[in-house]
Amino acid sequence: MRSVTLRRLGLAFACGALLASACGSNAPSTPARLPTDPTALPEFTLADYRHALGRLRGTPVVVNVWASWCGPCREEAPLLAAANRSYGDRVRFIGVDILDERGSARAFMREHGWTYPSVYDPSGAIRDGLGLLGQPVTLFYDASGELIDTWTGPLTSEALRSRLETILVRRAAPSHP
């Protein structure tokens, strides 16, 4: 019971901090939207990322932090492409391309057949702001927007499948106050 209260308190604090930062001068001038063209690769800040993620509430989301020069990212890229095709509209996939060149990133996305959008984070600020280290890192959010799991390193097909099933089941389960 105490951990649930602490989690809610932490979530309330994070929401308050996000609202406060959105009111500051560094807030995006237009609401961040994920592109419909998967290779558009718009530059996003941490605030943009959080805003876009919030817009996806109601659908489970998988966020993969990657770079075209990252060997382990290449290793898991086909798994992510296949899972995106398999799960269709039941789960949204988003990439966060960090510390990369746009041309190389777009070539990587085409090479692996990614049809889901990625955002461009040339300095790694999104990854760092989320408290993540290295890449690849994959985040699994349920339909309510709650972070359910974080996988560091290249995904295995079993790890990806089991976490996707977990966030889908949580989607169907009624929420309790």
Cα 4–chain centre separation: 24
Q: What is the pLDDT along the chain (177 residues), one digit of tens a residue?
A: 544 444 444 444 444 443 334 443 344 445 578 999 999 999 999 999 999 999 999 999 999 999 999 999 999 999 999 999 999 999 999 999 999 999 999 999 999 999 999 999 999 999 999 999 999 999 999 999 999 999 999 999 999 999 999 999 985 555 555
Q: Which helix (H) or strand (E) holds 40?
A: none
Helix (H, G, I), strand (E, B) or coil at 89: helix
Q: Among 134, 124, 121, 136, which residue's Cα sits nearest to residue 52? A: 121
Buried-state track 103-122, b at ≥16 Cβ within 10 A, e below 16? eebbebbeebebebbbbbbe
Q: Rounded to 5 degrees, what are φ and ψ at 63?
A: -115, 125
Alpha carbons 116 and 97: distance in angstroms, whole number: 13
Alpha carbons 10 and 153: distance in angstroms, whole number: 26
